[in-house]
Amino acid sequence: MSIFQLKDIGQTRLTAAQIMRDPILFLAFGFGSGLAKKAPGTCGTVAALPVYWLLMQFNSPWWYGGLTLLLTLLGIWLCDVAANMLGEHDFGGIVWDEIAGFLITMSCVPATWQNILAGFVLFRLFDIVKPWPIKWIDQKVAGGFGIMLDDVIAGVFAGLCLLWLAQWMV
């Protein structure tokens, strides 16, 4: 029994091996984390942690913000192409949007373990519950832009909550 989806992924019925070999799908699936059978979005957010750590090494809010913006814009294209390759809009295994959303969540607070943990929980909460307008965007906005936008907004909401909470966690 595997914890990963191994075959019949999407309407085009791709295999995990095909996804791992294709650079676009590999990235869209969060370096393979989106292949998890259960909670691929959470696994994708876990995959965001080393990306976050890497961006924090630049030790500059300008670099962090610029690279986060670049990864988010890249995600619009990646998610659109991946959805078309799978023949399915916003397939659960496409988790690049979770990576970008978590990076956005963490953009305005110091990189402490408390902030990372709280940011992770808050982002997952907003991404799963999808309060207005996140749910509306998720249902109404199509393509790679739609796949990314609901997680960008979830990241902004989670980031604002985290910024408020960070005042009390110091």
Q: Is residue 110 part of a domain?
A: yes
- What are the pLDDT tens digits along the chain (170 aa)? 566 666 788 888 999 999 999 999 999 999 999 999 999 999 999 999 999 999 999 889 999 999 999 999 999 999 999 999 999 988 999 999 999 999 999 999 999 999 999 999 999 999 999 999 999 998 999 999 999 999 999 999 999 999 999 888 65
Q: Is residue 114 part of a domain?
A: yes
Q: How high is the pLDDT of residue 4? A: 64
Q: How high is the pLDDT of residue 9? A: 85
Asked if 30 contacts 49 with a C-beta cutoff of 8 angstroms, the reply is: no
Q: Is residue 123 part of a domain?
A: yes
Q: Is residue 4 part of a domain?
A: no
Domain count for the chain: 1
Q: How high is the pLDDT of residue 109? A: 94
Domain extent at residue 146: 16-166
- The span from the CA of 46 to the CA of 61, in Å, is 22
Q: Is residue 1 part of a domain?
A: no
Q: How high is the pLDDT of residue 1? A: 55
Q: How high is the pLDDT of residue 137? A: 92
